[in-house]
Structure 1
Amino acid sequence: MITAVAGETIVRPLEPGDRAAVLELVAADLLPGLPGPAFAELDQAVQGTCAGGAAVRAGLEGVCSEVLACADGQVVGAVSWAERSADGAGALLWLHCLEDEQHLARALLQRAVTRLGRRTVHAFMDPTVLAPAGLPVRMRPGTRRALEECGFSGVDRWRFLHRHLDGRGDRLYAVADVVESPGLPGWQLQLRDRDGARIGEALVRLPVEGTTALQWVSLTPARRSAGNVLLEQCLAHLADRGVREVTAILPAPVEGQPDLDAAFALHAAAGFTEVDQLHAYTRRP
């Protein structure tokens, strides 16, 4: 277990022997319902690769991953950044450290900003193999404050929702056909009415350790008023297949876009709870 920090620290390149300590830091920052990454996923994150792929994520150059270590060798933080070839901006890809030790996050941020030089830097803008896009500002207040101290401004971009599927009730009817998704490792649920008419569809990722992510739900206009019932039925269908938890990420509400409020209300009516707000950050030179 990584303990509180006392004394001096140094920033150095991430080495293979640091991986277990870094994974421990990542696990401490996991949102509910998200499976912890393994060594393979961490290696992908260090290289800046996409999930399940071998190529560096499009538009990233000079990916660098470093750790913050105490004099005794204990790793207490890690950070990764890169340059965006399209616009020359910097990208802080991921950062994890002891959340109660705000000065550690500040040291890692200052390192990344210094190495990236005088340019705009975006932080937590895109998902990685370690976590979804956005900093969970409630769960990670130390990192949030460190970002603000280092000149970053945050924007509320997404809502992270979570739903336990324990004790699901009986389904009213066979709500969905389940087929393999052609574009994502997951299931496509083709929703239908009692008479068999197609009324919408949902897409979920393949479950990992009994947990899946609801990517989206789409209903025909005529059935949107019954959306919460249909989503409940969809969740019951997933429970039948051994799924115990479902997560979802929705865009944050925006004035003048009622569809975003409607989407949140749909999930809330189906029992989803907002766990955290996910903010993206930008620092101008």
Structure 2
Amino acid sequence: MAISATRERWIRVVTAVAGPGAETMVRPFESGDRVAVLQLVAADLLPGLTGPTFAELDLAVEGTGLNGPVVRAGLEDVRTEVLALADGQAVGAVSWAVRPSDGAGELLWLHCLEDEQHLARALLERAVTGLGRRTVHAFVEPTTLAPAGLPVRMRPGTRRALEACGFSGLDRWRYLHRRLDDRGGRLYAVADVVECPELPGWRLQLRERDGSRIGEAIVGLPIEGTTTLQWVSLTPARRSMGNILLEQCLAHLADRGVREVTTILPAPVDGRPDLDAALALHTAAGFAEIDQLHIYTRRP
């Protein structure tokens, strides 16, 4: 769902009337909020991600996961509410649930006008109040709207609101992006391509001429010309060939009309040589770090 000129005008109009003194109210999500909430989600999209559909928004409102029609991870008491202006226009939305396994709460997703930090804070306070006195984890799981983690560079207002509400950032990942417009489509004979049973996608198997395995990579099926590099693995003795395997992936994708590739790498605070090497490998292949995705926790 692309952000149109009409959407940009809508943002300017709502920003003008949704300042700290604007009259707002938090209420349950209604079907009439779907267009406005999808527009808010679209405004928060990272490069390489496609805008969600109405059906995907409905799944997110229900707390349904990516892999089936059941409420994911055994979550209970899923709630989705919107922050609305006096005329009923939604300018933010938040969804939360309870995790029965340990009694913790999960803030599943939150979207609002990012330049209006007070809107994010109002939504966070509503979720924390609704969850009661318990530990709350935020953005820990992927949804039908976005991957796990808050993109902290793109969404500074929400990040500051989380910190103001007592949340602390813990785990984090690097979100990388690569366009394939600059390369021709070609495949190398040393790569076998098979369907991947673990998810809708392809498994690329890199082999020597004698058939011995060097490594493999898994990529998702493209959606609107965009796909995700899920995993790259090399046998210990052949790790120096990581650049070849990654080039194999990109060549295979370009040959099939893929225009953009994204991937997510761990980004620990203290650094690790193997993870630094993974970043260097992807950077050498033309990937750029767009943002960091952070998970947050708030203790009672």
Specify the TM-score bucket, using the shorter chain as the normaliser.
Answer: over 0.9
Mapping for residues 9-28 of structure 1, pairs under 5 Å: 9-28=24-43
SS of the equivalent of 2:72 reads coil
Q: Give per-residue Cα distances to partners, 1:201-243, cap 9 Å, x unaligned.
A: 1111110000000000111222211211321232011100111
- Give the AA of the match of 2:206: L
- In the other structure, the counterpart of 2:264 is 249
CA offset at residue 266 of structure 1?
1.3
Match of 1:128 among 126, 143, 146: 143
- Give the AA of the match of 1:129: T
The separation in 1 between residues aligned to 2:260 and 2:192, in whole angstroms, is: 20
CA offset at residue 164 of structure 1?
0.5
Is it true that 1:36 corresponds to 2:54 in the alignment?
Answer: no
CA change 1:256–1:138 in 2 (3 A) is closer
Mapping for residues 107-146 of structure 1, pairs under 5 Å: 107-146=122-161
Partners of 1:175 and 1:234 within 8 A in 2: no
CA change 1:46–1:172 in 2 (3 A) is closer
The separation in 2 between residues aligned to 1:221 and 1:158, in whole angstroms, is: 24
The separation in 2 between residues aligned to 1:256 and 1:154, in whole angstroms, is: 16
Is it true that 1:75 corresponds to 2:90 in the alignment?
Answer: yes
- In the other structure, the counterpart of 1:201 is 216
Is it true that 1:53 corresponds to 2:68 in the alignment?
Answer: yes
Is it true that 1:215 corresponds to 2:230 in the alignment?
Answer: yes
Dislocated runs of 4+, deviation >6 Å: none
CA offset at residue 104 of structure 1?
0.2
Alignment gaps of 5+ in structure 2: 1-9
- Give the AA of the match of 1:19: R
Count residues with an aligned counterpart.
285
- Give the AA of the match of 2:267: A
- Which stretch shows the higher mean deviation, 190-199 or 214-223? 190-199
Q: TM-score scaled to structure 1, two decimals?
A: 0.95
- Give the AA of the match of 1:229: I
Q: CA RMSD in A?
A: 1.6
- Give the AA of the match of 1:110: E
- Give the AA of the match of 2:246: L
- In the other structure, the counterpart of 1:236 is 251
Is it true that 1:277 corresponds to 2:292 in the alignment?
Answer: yes
Q: Give per-residue Cα distances to partners, 1:122-174, cap 9 Å, x unaligned.
A: 11111111111110000000000000111111124111000001121575832
Partners of 2:184 and 2:254 within 8 A in 1: no
Alignment gaps of 5+ in structure 1: none
- In the other structure, the counterpart of 2:167 is 152
- Give the AA of the match of 2:121: R
SS of the equivalent of 1:58 reads helix
The separation in 1 between residues aligned to 2:271 and 2:265, in whole angstroms, is: 16
- In the other structure, the counterpart of 1:94 is 109
Partners of 2:267 and 2:275 within 8 A in 1: yes
- Which stretch shows the higher mean deviation, 216-225 or 159-168? 216-225
CA change 1:202–1:124 in 2 (3 A) is same
- Which stretch shows the higher mean deviation, 135-144 or 2-11? 2-11
The separation in 1 between residues aligned to 2:49 and 2:189, in whole angstroms, is: 28
